[in-house]
Chains A and B, each alone.
Chain A
């Protein structure tokens, strides 16, 4: 196995421009969506089958009247212990030689176990293809020696792509520097390979508690092949029920029908 590749998103450098979001959409040819009113600049509210990179906009008024606007480009975490991969009954979700987690569209049967198994709400179901979708770190690009489209576009290097060990070392230094500058809550999220989910291959530097960014404090992977409760489980379960019918109809194949 090659050295693990990773994406380090340093939110202290993010200016919320959403170049990553559009560059991802452009390269991966993800289609048009109708946005919803979120009350902020953010669109869309959640990851979708057409939005793999999502910039979050979080207003944090401080008690002294000062303001913080936390900006964060969120993405699939490519967990070392990946709930989606564990849950996949067909082997469509695979770990590549670079450590990334990828959904093989030719194998995916649209069962959506992965959708509910993801502790981050990343994996989504596409009704047109009848398959699950998510960020692949631009699998075609990285296998051809190019970095992912989002990291390439990012104007401020908030999104950095490289070997995981290099990036973790860099991130560790950066978080110490920020703390010294007075960002008391600056912390890494998912950098520790001894930590939750065996570490995330897309890890983050946050300027506030994970919950502020809509990230679970201690995400857990569901037991293999069992859909367990998570913050997303209710909606996901509904989707599983509805979507699988579509998938069955669309594909006309029997193999995914056992959980429909």
Chain B
């Protein structure tokens, strides 16, 4: 998230599109505080949830229509001049001119220029700025030129009228107008609003464009980088942020460095050429990449061998290796061995039946978890004869956070250290111990190899501290932070860093091998104190106070302990806060500068996310979006499915797309899986007529490994259930508490019906569409005798389809049938 939970209290309006009260209850206290200060709170959700119960306005929305909703708000704000014009002109690409060849979906029937129907991809060559003679984008600050991003955006969203929103999303006109008035009405120098999101926006075949649409609305209203504003991404796992930063993801290396592709990046030179832009902060990418290679390969990484770049694996294709690719490829026999470490794909991923069938084909499976999960016992899933499963399974019991040292990065990018309180029982080990033990054994097996392909593995050190059995996590964090590999002196010959000394800032990283660092954005989390000892800032525990409401003394937020990203945007072009009420950082012309004879510095309530000495009137001194090549926020932002988000129906939908003849995302990924294991329902299917959405509950955690085995949590819900409206229940003769069968072309499950007023059918311009909801926490393992601990696997219903940018699945909106009884 760009912002900070504490800061939510200063919003004038908060729009939760996620189910925040249920999934992030403790963070939700800041919404309640904002309400106490007079803020309005809107909840946009297909269901009336515990979040809606706390809202001033509940906006019911048919699942899978988020872009129609956000597009409607963008259109509303533009048509009624509710956007923050000065911010938009100065800090975004609204005024930039686009190549005249480019046409939006309004002109091309739901597509953008360059679509190749055969390959189902876009040729994006016209999706670019017009450049002047010096190669800079041409601009029209009046925003009047029809080629400006602003005019293209206006035209693109002109179709997203209040009436259209009502027909697509099923939001009654009066409710949408009230919502639009409340949210868009709180824009400008004196007001800000924030929007929360979570998996409600991501788990769609338009997942990335959903989030872009949200971001565009926030830019349009001038809400990014300002107190009470921002994009509030609410993540679900304790360390999903950290695991992303440290890059347990197929497409990147730690610190958001692209994972090499065979054809695009065959060697370091091509990687550096392609991945180092001409402007923005990523011009420093070579320093971060070389420092990473030095951190991994140590002394073996030299300039002569391109710092060991060749040893890194090269991906064969960009369309490969994601979560969904894994289970299709495993089913197809490409993957032989599998490590599931703290993840339970037998329950937690899309098309879970396929995932289990795939795992039953493995030669071997290693599971490391706190409890024996469904994944670990995939060989005795219901209906499976263990004898038929030839997979060898190794289960290693894992230690929870309380039994080990380490750090977790929360949804605010805040890195917090936790202390080991007790020793794990029996032969329970931490994940770190497992990885280093495995690594050292593998290095032994390869010891003496002279093959170039083994050189990387043999060069990497997995020893941290004196005890190889218990790696010192602080030393691992120091390697992530980065350190000097040799003495580093300044231009006067003064020693800045001793060999091995932790780096204070990523600004000190170099591309000459003098620094090593595993994840540049974390630099500063460990520094050397005055006494020469390593200071672990993740463990710092200074409470917030009146002078520092953002609590900079508590933990360490990447990057550079900044709590609100892009905070240069909290000040106007001249460096003054847009308003006294909404001040965050500002230019103090009298403050001492970076050199003795210079004055002027960015100061305020947060660490500037900006060069602290770059004056507002200097070149680029008024460009807050430093991570972007063009230094401005992007309304026009090319992705694989378009430079502007466009509404498409989910891959399975009860209705035709009313906006265009393009039914679903034209470039979405649909996997072909043998044995009818990924069949899809047709548009408007009579066999599967109901929309289904899946979600989580406060009392459970994801695939349930950390909740279903805990009696205190497992007893809070009686058993697995589906939420069904009274209207649908009446049509189907279902009573509250009846067992029902929910089925899709992929599978069926038996659950209890919870008949509730909190779900209502949607009225789409006279057509009634029913939607049901099912939480997905349950599986076949749990506590004996406690019904709330076990249940059918909701993800057996979902499909293997994906967003074309990141391949996330569509588990928020698909089709199902509901029948009374166990059919």
Contacts and interface: CB of A to CB of B under 8 A. Distances in A.
A–B touch (CB < 8 A): the answer is: yes
B50 A34 contact: no
Contact of A39 (B21, B22, B48, B754): B754
A17 B22 contact: yes
Interface stretch (A21-29, A120-128, A252-260): A21-29
A187 B54 CA distance: 18
Contact of B787 (A34, A65, A71): A34
A154 B644 CA distance: 42
A40 interface: yes
Contacts of A155: 25-26, 28-29
Interface string B706-723: 000001110111110000
B53 A71 contact: yes
Contact of B715 (A34, A41, A67, A70): A34
A13 B28 CA distance: 11
B25 A17 contact: yes
A21 B757 contact: no
B712 A36 contact: no
Interface in A1-56: 13, 15-19, 21-22, 25-26, 31-41, 43
Contacts of A65: 760
Nearest to B35: A13
A26 B715 contact: no
A22 B786 CA distance: 17
B757 A37 contact: no
Given A35-B717, A37-B752, A69 B786 contact: no
Interface residues of B, number: 38
Given A18-B698, A39-B736, A67 B758 contact: yes
B639 interface: no
B699 interface: yes
B32 A156 contact: yes
A37 B713 contact: no
A31 B716 CA distance: 13
Contacts of A94: none
Contacts of B717: 35, 41, 43
Contacts of B785: 34
Interface in A66-123: 66-71
B58 interface: yes
B29 A156 contact: yes
B52 interface: yes
B758 A22 contact: no
Contacts, number: 93
A217 interface: no
B719 to A, nearest CB: 7
B32 A13 contact: yes
A31 to B, nearest CB: 8
B715 A36 contact: no
B260 interface: no
A37 B718 contact: yes
Residue of B22, B28, B50 most packed against chain A (CB within 10 A): B50
A157 B699 CA distance: 19
A59 B756 CA distance: 8
Given A35-B788, A43-B718, A61 B757 contact: yes
Q: Tell me if A's interface is mostly helix, strand, loop or mixed.
A: loop
A67 B28 contact: no
Contact of B786 (A32, A59, A156): A32
B386 interface: no
Given A43-B715, A157-B29, A37 B758 contact: no
B53 A37 contact: no
Contact of A68 (B53, B713, B755, B786): B53
A68 B54 CA distance: 9
A38 B752 CA distance: 12
A124 to B, nearest CB: 16
Interface in B752-809: 752, 754-758, 760, 785-788
Nearest to B32: A156
Contacts of B756: 40, 59
B502 to A, nearest CB: 36
Contact of A17 (B698, B754, B787): B698
B757 A59 contact: yes
B270 to A, nearest CB: 51
Contacts of B22: 15, 17
Nearest to A37: B718
Interface in B536-573: none
A59 B758 contact: yes
Interface in B109-166: none
Given A34-B785, A43-B715, A43-B718, A156 B53 contact: no
B279 interface: no
B737 interface: yes
Contacts of B719: 37
A40 B786 contact: no
A37 B788 contact: no
B716 A67 contact: no
B236 to A, nearest CB: 16
Contacts of B716: 18, 21-22, 35, 43
A36 B737 CA distance: 11
B21 A17 contact: yes
B699 A18 contact: yes
Contacts of B28: 15, 155-156
Contact of A35 (B25, B51, B718, B757): B718
A36 B757 contact: no
B37 to A, nearest CB: 13
Contacts of B25: 15, 17, 19, 155-156
Contacts of B786: 32, 34
Contacts of B711: 31-32
Contacts of B698: 16-18
A85 to B, nearest CB: 30
Contact of B48 (A19, A38, A67, A70): A67
Nearest to A59: B757
A36 B752 CA distance: 13
A153 B397 CA distance: 30
Contact of A67 (B50, B58, B697): B58
A38 B715 CA distance: 12
Interface in B13-59: 21-22, 25-26, 28-29, 32, 48, 50-54, 58
Nearest to A71: B53
Contacts of B52: 67, 69
B330 to A, nearest CB: 37
Contacts of A34: 715, 785-787
Nearest to A65: B760
Contacts of A37: 718-719, 737, 752
B799 to A, nearest CB: 28
Interface in A133-175: 155-157
A157 B48 CA distance: 22
Interface in B186-229: none
Given A37-B719, A37-B752, A59-B757, A16 B26 contact: no
Contacts of A21: 716
Given A17-B22, A35-B715, A71 B50 contact: yes
Contact of A22 (B21, B712, B718, B757): B712
Nearest to B783: A32
Contacts of B758: 59, 67, 69
B718 to A, nearest CB: 5
B50 A69 contact: yes
Contacts of A22: 712-713, 716
A18 B707 CA distance: 14
A58 B699 CA distance: 18
10 contacts: A18-B716, A25-B712, A32-B712, A35-B716, A37-B752, A38-B718, A43-B716, A59-B757, A61-B757, A157-B32
Going nearest first, the 7 A-B pairs with the smallest beta carbon separation are A32-B711, A69-B53, A17-B25, A15-B21, A61-B757, A39-B736, A155-B26
Interface of A: 13, 15-19, 21-22, 25-26, 31-41, 43, 59, 61, 65-71, 155-157
Given A21-B716, A33-B715, A43-B718, 5 more contacts: A17-B698, A35-B788, A66-B58, A155-B26, A157-B29
